[in-house]
Amino acid sequence: MDYEFSYDFLGQPIAQFSMGHETIGRWFSEELCGNQYRIAELLNIIEQIEQRCISQRRIIGSEFELHINKEDVEIFAQALDFDVDEDLPEDTNLYDEESHSGCGLPDFKQALLSWKTFVS
């Protein structure tokens, strides 16, 4: 999983992740932004999971849900909750690669630590 951090023209931090992990980048950019409190809170949750104090956590944000357990992290766009398949022609597939992503907990933690440093 590759990623790159930059700033947009308004000075807001932007995370871009490799293909298949785009939602993680959107989650970093849109849900975490530069909020050091939320980043620290998430690192604390990861530590609790690693120490087996808790087994999993679900965090619901304004646009995304984060599911985290001892093995992996998954991020879902909340827009996936509605069902549009019944209105689509047969054999139509929706592109949802930017609406759902996952990775291993160690990779996510490393990316989060890098993001924390970047936005500090």
**Residue 103, pLDDT score:** 95
**CA atoms of 54 and 110, how far apart (whole Å):** 20
Query: Once rounded to an integer, what is the mean pLDDT over residues 46-71?
Result: 95
What total number of domains does the chain contain?
Answer: 1
**Residue 90, pLDDT score:** 64
**Residue 66, pLDDT score:** 95
The per-residue pLDDT for range 31-40, each reduced to its tens digit, is 999 999 999 9
**Residue 118, pLDDT score:** 97
Residue 70 has pLDDT above 80, yes or no: yes
Q: List the domain range (segments joined by +) for residue 97.
A: 3-119
Higher pLDDT, 95 or 67: 67
**CA atoms of 77 and 117, how far apart (whole Å):** 25
